[in-house]
Amino acid sequence: MRTWGGRFEAGPDPAAADFTRSLEIDIELALDDIAGSIAHAHGLGRAGLLSDAEVETLTGGLEGLRGAVVDGTIDWDPTLEDVHMNLEAALEARVGPVARKLHTGRSRNDQVATDLRLWARRTIDALDDAAVGLERALVDLALRHPEAVMPGHTHVQPAQPVLVAHHLLAYVEMLERDRARLADARRRANVSPLGAGAIAGAGFPLDREATAAELGFEGLTRNSIDASGDRDFVVETLAAVAIAMAHLSRLAEELVWWSSPRFGFVRLADAFSTGSSMLPNKRNPDVAELVRGRAAGVIGRLTAALAMVKGLPLGYQRDLQEDKAPLFEAARTLRTSLEVLAGAVASLTVHEARMRAAAEEGHTTAVAVADALVERGVAFRAAHHVAGRLVRAAEAAAVELASLDDGAFAAALAESDDPVASELAADPAIGATLRAAATVEGALARCDVVGGTAPDRVHAELARAARRLGLG
């Protein structure tokens, strides 16, 4: 099959042919290409460019090719540069010269743009399913430990006690935004460029609306130049994938730290841990580390796609052949990362006692003490200073805030230049009040706002997430 056309007297140099071939990558579009070709054949029939018999012959041959692709029996010819030429040649081998009519009114430019949008649509659907799978694992883990407490951190320093469920639900929120970004990318990708031709539009009266409807597109591209020569839907999908991978990398980072004996918060199941080739004692969180590492690769692929399109003049350019490898690999990485993290989270062992002990370290209830003083009329800045002096006293005594005696509370208040605080120093009940505020339970209960870590709030959010995900 002469793929270089009548314009040329000879074929390409072997090195040039190898350099331009993309079959190994765009073979992933085979089923999408067949779907687009079937719809295009129907469109040619509607336009009177094919007889009913020819349409039936072509669609029957294409359906046979679909089966061969699915069961792996199709023979791919590496001398044909891409999946489109391979399928065209395979179709001609099945149905004869009528196959040569299929490309009427179509360019590989709008053909591949159609294929890639179909691929993006079904791939985003699969990514959404995988994201829901990880959400379910996180929510299920939270449901198994609804009262567990851990230290919330800022600046990697203990800040305030939070429920473990509250922490896990933060990742659910991230994943929900990731799903929304992917859905937005899918919506903008879900318009049909078929009929745009090479650049100016098809030269025949094709019913683009009917073809788009057959392929399940929600609309049509409105400019033929833009339709075949732009890939912002690829970049947008990559951006959504990269942000999602950044979120997964944060979760992976925490699993790495938490599973270290220095933290001892969790234990990864054997199935999601590896040993060392030298050190018999090691239990390595390699799965989480690889998610973290592969996030960097996905971010790089987004950067590559942006750099590829930033200087292209209008109209299709062969540079755009390079859009597929980063998109395919990034989507594959996100899907497998979501799946493996879902398995790791689902099988995670949580050490509640160790988490609770860590939540009680670092004077994480200090702001609750300051808030309790504010309730008694002390200005917040003055209350902040009093709480800071109490932390200093607790550190000197090597105890936590809730273990300070009444004298320590009275002394810190007496030092304040706030008149209300000074008066409270003489209140015999103030020590008990502040001591109660300094407990983990007191600190948790105080954060009783929508989105806060108060147990009732978290349990309500957990129940809402569980209902949405069909759990419990």
DSSP string, 391-451: HHHHHHHTS-GGG--HHHHHHHHHT-S-HHHHHHTT-TTHHHHHHHHTSHHHHHHH--STT
- The Cα 295–Cα 263 span in angstroms is 24
- The Cα 36–Cα 117 span in angstroms is 10
Token pair for residue 194? 């078929």
- The Cα 1–Cα 435 span in angstroms is 86
Please write down the long-range contacts of 65-72, taking CB distance under 8 Å and 24 or more positions apart.
65/34, 65/90, 65/91, 65/94, 66/31, 66/34, 69/30, 69/31, 69/34, 70/31
Give the Cβ contact number of residue 374 at 10 Å.
16
Q: How many residues are listed for the chain in this entry?
A: 472
Give the Cβ contact number of residue 66 at 10 Å.
19
Residue at token pair 């992976």: 252
Residue at token pair 């709480």: 387
- The Cα 59–Cα 50 span in angstroms is 12
Token pair for residue 308? 């590829």
DSSP 465: H
DSSP 321: G
- The answer to whether 276 is a known catalytic residue is yes
Token pair for residue 131? 């994201």
DSSP string, 36-57: HHHHHHHHHHHTTSS-HHHHHH
Q: 2: burial class by Cβ within 10 Å (0-12, 13-18, 19+)?
A: exposed
E runs forming strands in 214-314: 219-220, 266-267
- The residues that bridge with 149 in the sheet, in sequence order, are 163
Amino acid at 424: L
- The residues that bridge with 160 in the sheet, in sequence order, are 152
- The answer to whether 84 is a known catalytic residue is no
Instruction: Select which of 84, 155, 228, 422 is catalytic.
Output: 155
Instruction: Select which of 51, 260, 276, 403 is catalytic.
Output: 276
Nearest CA-CA partner of 368 in 166, 163, 158, 161: 161
Q: List phi, psi (to 5°) of 161.
A: -70, 140
User: How many CA within 13 A on the CB side of residue 312?
Assistant: 23
Catalytic residue positions, numbered? 155, 276
